Amino acid sequence: MKLGFSILPFVLAAPLTGAQTYLNCSYAAGWQLNGAPREYSAANLYEYKDGAAEGYLSFGFLRMTSINCRSSESTIDIDVSEMADADFAWGIFAANSEADKPVAAIGMGGQVGHQSASFARGSSYVEIVEVSSNPDADDSATMAAFAVGMERQMQGRDTPPETLNWFPQEELISIRLIPESVLGLRELTRGYVAHYKQGQAFVIGEASPESASVVLKDLRAKLSGTTDAGVGDEAFQAKTKYLGGICIFRKGKTLAGYANLAQAADAVTLATKLAPRIP
């Protein structure tokens, strides 16, 4: 729940400067800045985002700058969150996007609705939300004007993470960046998970081949009934209680594989197809 503009300790006294000049209300006719810009840190984000703050923090949230624009009786809140890196910015966009709506070519990815828009560019995640005097109005043209106008003035990567291209596209439903405990395994920190009609594929980057090998060995010791699998540089397969048929392999410093299949052999077959796609 947003607390409006009564959070006086977090209001900026000076106008935005430098790289933040893209944060303004001039992208559509009739809109003007309403009040001073506001800033939030990890320490006080919960005052603005209430129960949603933990989701931002899990994706490497650093700070947020917000403004409010007004046109007659309607307002638009624009929030720009700076994340730890571009992958995290794409990750929180993907986590908050609507799966049944198309992704627009705005920065690394964007979505535009009737009264909202969002996108990620560089390490920034941008949310634009209108509170309209007509809640049924289709203001998607205004939302697109704000999103596209802002994105064109921003710096940083404007293409999705390269890792997304490693996943096979056949029967793919969605891909998400999981900021911690991929597949519910604490050993697998921060990785991409692709959901298919059957099973899940996952890719986790480690610091080095040696550290990836250590993680693989730790996982093998944790999961019971494992056997060798001839995938990548080293691999194992297993049929587990909670993850079904699973195959995890190492290729260089990357850990990857498939889980939630009917049999371990099914996971091995798919992992064999995934491995050559990883550089």
Residues with Cβ within 8 Å of residue 15, at least 6 apart in sequence = 37
Tell me, what's the pLDDT at 8?
A: 32
* Alpha helices for 126-263 (secondary structure H): 140-153, 209-222
Tell me, what's the pLDDT at 99?
A: 85
Nearest-angstrom CA–CA distance, 247 and 170: 19
Tell me, what's the pLDDT at 51?
A: 85
Tell me, what's the pLDDT at 13?
A: 36
Please give the domain boundaries of the chain with CATH numbers for all domains.
8-153 (3.40.1000), 162-277 (3.40.1000.20)
Write down the pTM of the prediction: 0.89
- Taking a C-beta distance cutoff of 8 angstroms, is the pair 130, 137 a contact? no
pLDDT in tens, 8-32: 333 333 344 444 789 999 999 999 9
Tell me, what's the pLDDT at 50?
A: 85
Range list of β-strands (E), the chain: 32-33, 38-41, 61-71, 74-83, 109-112, 116-121, 124-131, 172-178, 191-196, 200-205, 227-228, 234-240, 244-251, 254-261
Q: How many CB atoms lie within 10 A of CB 208?
A: 10
Nearest-angstrom CA–CA distance, 274 and 279: 11
Q: Which of 222, 216, 259, 253 is nearest to 236 (CA)?
A: 216
- Taking a C-beta distance cutoff of 8 angstroms, is the pair 198, 261 a contact? yes
Q: What are the pLDDT tens digits along the chain (279 aa)? A: 233 323 333 333 334 444 478 999 999 999 999 999 999 999 999 999 888 999 999 999 999 999 999 999 999 999 999 999 999 999 999 999 998 899 999 999 999 999 999 999 999 999 999 999 999 999 999 999 999 999 999 999 999 999 999 999 999 999 999 999 999 999 999 999 999 999 999 999 999 999 999 999 999 999 999 999 999 999 999 999 999 999 999 999 999 999 999 999 999 999 999 999 999
